[in-house]
């Protein structure tokens, strides 16, 4: 039998301890599939005394991640510490420079430094694998990098944050407001004490930047992504979506356009009969559009110890078998700078909800402003829900909720038309705008 693949494990949180368990429990299967054993030989974490629910006494403890990365006894470093900076960054760089393969679940590190790390891996002829960094247990990285490497991609989009999908699902199913669902997500451990990174879309943006780079061969550039979160979504929006045949999801979308690669994260109305609309709770999903095939949707757990660990172990098995490719599917020298498609040039359908003042000429003013920007309406609904009016204005009988669905138009046209409507003082508050993503 071939010599074991010797692993140094940096990070012993939920994912790290799950990696240890999977490697122990699946030892024989991994030997059969990989042709050699995969063994953890050294570990490190911030606290040696912390109880982790796993017997780690048989593993050699190393003082810190950087020392582990340079340890001559390991073949591969598994980094599950997290964070875009040190010690994770320093440890990964040291391991690659020392000619050791790296497996990481660190989306923040890759989104910020992926280009540099990929070049370092190529220079030293070692693998840099990161299946666990995006969508947990869903094998989307390998699908893009290997399974569909003969296809030209046109669009990739998905639910990449389980916290947001849980909140939107609970709001819809249990008729609860955003804040109440957020508190429940925090109680269940789905959301952090400070949930802004998740609910404002930044976690999804980091993951989208990795997927866009793999799909379109562009250099990673999180700054090129338009980001909008879900905190403004109300039950009124979810009710309207239901009546119009849609469901609201927070999507990360990367699409090839004539203007460049459009990358955006925002609440989105998707047709209720689409595959991605059926994905509820903390589950993730990614849809891939490529030339020559029908759209492919991958669905599965996006987080959690065992789901993420399974992706880490899969990457280790590839290394054990001698599989190594360019980290982002092509050499770094062949990756191009992102030609950012300005969000103002995005074209598609829009859901617009206004609180229109109940005065003569209001409807005509709104219609005129839309027409001036060439916006055509697919449908318009005026709702006279007294309770909703009171909640919005504090007095019954004032603003009337008006919901409009546009035909395909530009972001710029919608924003300019609504700015003009606000200046006309025929609406109360700020308009709610949600983009529509077709199948």
How far apart CA 317 and CA 28 sit, in angstroms, is 12
How far apart CA 136 and CA 116 sit, in angstroms, is 23
Residue 405 CB contacts under 8 Å (≥ 6 apart), including other chains: 244, 349, 350, 351, 352, 377, 378, 379, 380, 436
Residue 126 CB contacts under 8 Å (≥ 6 apart), including other chains: 96, 99, 100, 101, 102, 324
Q: Which helix (H) or strand (E) holds 430?
A: strand 427-436
Distances from the Cα of 387 to the Cα of 254, 324, 363, 398, 400, angstroms: 39, 61, 22, 11, 11
How far apart CA 256 and CA 103 sit, in angstroms, is 29
Q: Which helix (H) or strand (E) holds 220?
A: none
Which of 89, 97, 405 is CA-nearest to residue 244? 405
The answer to whether 50 is a known catalytic residue is: no
Neighbours of 140 (CB within 10 A): 28
End-to-end CA distance of the chain: 50
3-state secondary structure of 254: strand
Q: Which of 207, 272, 416, 438 is catalytic?
A: 207
Catalytic site residues? 207
């Amino acid at each position: 039998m071939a010599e074991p693949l010797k692993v140094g494990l940096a990070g012993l949180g939920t994912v790290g301890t799950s990696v240890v368990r999977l490697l122990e429990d699946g030892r024989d299967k991994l030997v059969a599939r990989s042709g050699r054993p995969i063994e953890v030989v050294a570990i490190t974490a911030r606290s040696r005394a912390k109880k982790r629910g796993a017997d780690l006494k048989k593993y050699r403890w190393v003082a810190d991640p950087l020392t582990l990365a340079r340890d001559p006894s390991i073949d591969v470093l598994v980094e599950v510490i997290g964070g875009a900076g040190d010690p994770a960054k320093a440890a990964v760089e040291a391991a690659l420079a020392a000619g050791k393969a790296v497996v990481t679940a660190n989306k923040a590190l890759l989104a910020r430094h992926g280009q540099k790390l990929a070049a370092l891996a190529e220079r030293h002829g070692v693998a840099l694998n990161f299946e666990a960094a995006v969508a947990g247990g869903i094998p989307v990285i390998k699908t893009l990098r290997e399974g569909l490497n003969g296809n030209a991609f046109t669009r990739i989009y998905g639910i990449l944050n389980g916290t947001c999908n849980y909140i939107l699902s609970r709001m819809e199913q249990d008729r609860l407001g955003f804040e109440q669902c957020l508190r429940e997500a925090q109680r269940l451990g789905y959301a952090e004490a400070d949930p802004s990174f998740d609910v404002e879309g930044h976690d999804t943006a980091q993951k989208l930047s990795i997927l866009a780079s793999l799909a379109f061969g562009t250099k990673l550039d999180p700054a090129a992504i338009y980001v909008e979160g879900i905190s403004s979504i109300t039950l009124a929006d979810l009710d309207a979506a239901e009546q119009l045949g849609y469901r609201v999801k927070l999507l990360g979308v990367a699409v090839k356009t004539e203007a460049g690669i459009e990358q955006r994260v925002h609440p989105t109305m998707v047709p209720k009969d689409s595959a991605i609309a059926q994905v509820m709770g903390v589950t993730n999903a990614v849809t891939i559009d490529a030339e020559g095939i029908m759209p492919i949707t991958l669905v599965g757990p996006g987080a959690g110890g065992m789901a993420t660990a399974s992706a880490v172990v899969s990457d280790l098995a590839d290394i054990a078998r001698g599989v190594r490719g360019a980290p982002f599917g092509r050499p770094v020298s062949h990756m191009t700078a992102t030609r950012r498609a300005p969000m103002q040039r995005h074209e598609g359908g829009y859901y617009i909800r206004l609180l229109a003042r109940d005065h003569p000429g209001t409807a005509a003013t709104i219609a005129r402003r839309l027409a001036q920007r060439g916006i055509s309406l697919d449908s318009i609904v005026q709702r006279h829900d007294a309770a909703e009016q009171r909640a919005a204005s504090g007095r019954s009988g004032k603003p009337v909720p008006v919901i409009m669905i546009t035909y395909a138009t530009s972001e710029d046209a919608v924003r300019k038309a609504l700015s003009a409507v606000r200046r006309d003082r025929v609406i109360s508050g700020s308009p709610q705008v949600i983009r529509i993503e077709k199948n």
